[in-house]
Structure 1
């Protein structure tokens, strides 16, 4: 199988990073639970939304992300058995290109650079499976669509959902 895997909120915890950065900046303690069903930006006061928007354009934001639990182990096993590609819509934030590449080198060195697609729109992907946290990307994919759970997509019901990497392992290995 040819499997495409998104980065942000699928193998890299950008949601947690947004919360951490926000809480440090404003000396708050905003939690995932308080954000359920929405983006972090939509859970903060109006005058602080720009701060959240700025995270993605700040050097170091994408480089310091924490890998999602079990993603490294399951992806390594998937890569042995299947054709695995990392597909991230990285063009929106140009500084993320280098940082995401470095991050993948560190945490997913078994995914070669030739299998890393840092793109704009994901509608160009052609394969068997797409694992993504964004319904927009899944709508346009022709293969099996797996929605990876994130606080922002909890109300999405149009796709087969996976809550963690152990569930992905059961489905695809």
Structure 2
């Protein structure tokens, strides 16, 4: 059984566009992610929801969503949990892990848009750097996964 962890922000949902949008509307707020409702309102990345469902259907893969909390918004814990339920259903909330140090978890694959900063560099399995040249989108990533 392969354990696959998938980051949320800028992997499953479009965090960066929402930050940019909020900064344009309210340049005086240096932390748009601190606004209540920010995380729950994030739009899915193209292909992300279908890709997760495809991985979940595989009998040899256990999928977890692994996301770091926003220290600027204590509501991020609740909103990220609600986002997962909104997009994948209640059952997937059992596979949601909110952790500030991703290198503490054991598993085979970590799909993340950053190679470091939240412990990704200490993850002992394979780090798949989403959004780079090799894995620019979910279609390319799924074709290259050893699953």
TM category (shorter chain) comes to 0.7 to 0.9
Contact 2:110 2:126 (8 Å CA) reproduced: yes
- Aligned equivalent of 1:9: 10
* Bigger mean CA offset, 117-126 vs 66-75: 117-126
What secondary structure does 1:162 align onto?
Answer: coil
Distance 1:91 1:58, change over 3 A: closer
**1:113 CA displacement:** 1.8
1:148 is aligned to 2:130: yes
Consecutive unaligned residues of structure 2, counting only runs of 5 or more, are none
Is 1:170 aligned with 2:147?
A: no
1: CA distance between counterparts of 2:50 and 2:77? 24
| 1:1-173 correspondence runs (5 A) | 1-26=2-27, 51-52=29-30, 54-81=31-58, 82-90=61-69, 92=71, 93-109=73-89, 112-136=92-116, 137-149=119-131, 161-172=134-145, 173=147
User: After the TM superposition, which of the residue ranges 92-101 and 76-85 deviates more from structure 2?
Assistant: 92-101
- 2:6–2:112 contact (8 Å) kept in structure 1: yes
Superposition RMSD in Å: 1.9
8 Å CA contact retained: 2:115, 2:127: no
Structure 1 residue 138 displacement after superposition: 2.7
Once residues 33 and 42 of structure 2 are traced to their aligned partners in structure 1, the CA distance between those partners, rounded to angstroms, is: 12
Larger radius of gyration: 1
Counterpart of 1:86 in 2: which secondary structure?
Answer: strand
Q: More helix by proportion, 1 or 2?
A: 1
CA distances 1:39-95 after superposition (whole Å, capped 9, x unpaired): xxxxxxxxx5xx23x212110110100000000001100011110000001162321
Is the 1:91–1:118 contact (alpha carbons within 8 Å) kept by the matching residues of 2? no
- After TM superposition, the score normalised by the length of structure 2 is 0.86
Partner of 1:35: none
